[in-house]
Amino acid sequence: MTAVVLTTGNHYVLDVAGSVLLLAAAIGVASLWNRLAARRQASARPADT
């Protein structure tokens, strides 16, 4: 896909680099969100006694 975007001339290399950065940021936020949700679920469970 990157090659198609660059060869058509519709976008510049910085657009592709920006997209990669945005994707990395989204993956990081989703990972953090998942960890926080797991921690919240673990703390909401009653302790085994």
What type of residue is 13? V
Where do the structural domains in the chain lie, given as residue ranges?
A: 2-44
Residue scoring higher pLDDT (47 or 14): 14
Q: What is the pLDDT of residues 2-45, one digit of tens each?
A: 777 667 766 677 788 889 999 999 999 999 999 999 998 888 87
Label residue 47 by pLDDT band (50, 70, 90): low
Burial 15-48 (b: 16+ CB within 10 A, else e): eeeeeeeeeeeeeeeeeeeeeeeeeeeeeeeeee
In this structure, are residues 11 and 2 in contact, taking their beta carbons and an 8 Å threshold? Answer: no
Query: Quick one: which of 21, 16, 22, 20 has its CA closest to 3?
Result: 16
pLDDT, residue 4, reads: 74
